[in-house]
Amino acid sequence: MENIKLSKIYANAIFEIASENDSVSQILELLNELVSKIEEDTEFKKFLSNPIVDKSSKIELLNKLLVNNSEIEKNILNYLVEKNRIKALSGIKKAYLEIYHETKNELIVTGIFPTELSETQKEKLVKKLEKLKSKKIILDIKVDKTLVTGGIIKINDEVIDGSLKSQLEKIKESF
């Protein structure tokens, strides 16, 4: 829980700086690219998260990678290295993305279902959620064949679990 709070604090600060410099989309793109690079390249991840490697070496490497990026982008990443927050970059990116969509009155909703939804089902779900939340809904559908029937809706920290699997688990726990 502490990591989530910390990620949100850093994401808010970064978003504020990005807004002041008219770089909100630029910074989002940078965070996406860097998180992807860290997830794909284990050596890069080890280097950045290694406490033995001094911060100046990490900053030097990032600046070489970001040679075509703006000063604001470099400064933000350098700051995260200085504060030892590169390990939290994935959480910071997620929180930044939530803030980004919030400012556009959008809400990312993850729907988990046993099969892919038809376009009609997606449209109906989006309309219901837009009415419920009074925001534009960006729907991310995932398939989980272990659910059997029903579904799970995740809206930020809120989870609506209407799956048969969870209902059966509740019945099992009561015995």
Residue 149 sits in the same domain as residue 76: no
Residue 56 sits in the same domain as residue 96: yes
Full pLDDT tens readout for the chain, 175 residues:
468 899 999 999 999 999 999 999 999 999 999 999 999 999 998 998 898 999 999 999 888 888 788 888 889 989 999 998 988 999 999 999 999 999 999 999 999 999 999 999 999 999 999 999 999 999 999 999 988 888 889 987 788 887 777 777 777 787 7
Give me the pLDDT at residue 2, please: 60
Q: 62, 79, 101 — which closes off a domain?
A: 101
Residue 138 sits in the same domain as residue 160: yes
Residue 90 sits in the same domain as residue 14: yes
Residue 112 sits in the same domain as residue 81: no
Residue 13 sits in the same domain as residue 89: yes
Residue 89 sits in the same domain as residue 128: no
* Distance in angstroms (rounded) separating the CA atoms of residues 94 and 88: 10
| Residue among 28, 153, 34 at smallest CA distance from 101 | 28
Q: Answer yes or no: are the C-beta atoms of 81 and 59 closer than 8 Å.
A: yes
The domain tally of the chain equals 2
- State the pairing for strand pair 106-113/136-143: parallel
CATH number for position 20? 1.10.520.20
Judged by DSSP in three states, 86 sits in helix
* Distance in angstroms (rounded) separating the CA atoms of residues 27 and 19: 10
Q: Answer yes or no: are the C-beta atoms of 116 and 151 closer than 8 Å.
A: no
H helix or E strand, kind and range, residue 110: strand 106-113
Residue 96 sits in the same domain as residue 14: yes
Query: Distance of alpha carbon 7 from its chain centroid, rounded?
Result: 10
Residue 93 sits in the same domain as residue 7: yes
Q: 101, 136, 166 — which closes off a domain?
A: 101
Domain that holds residue 122: 106-174
Residue 8 sits in the same domain as residue 94: yes
Residue 7 sits in the same domain as residue 79: yes
Q: 82, 101, 120 — which closes off a domain?
A: 101
- State the pairing for strand pair 158-161/152-155: antiparallel
| Residue among 48, 68, 72 at smallest CA distance from 59 | 48
CA-to-CA dists, residue 173 to 99, 166, 167, 169, 170, angstroms:
38, 10, 10, 6, 5
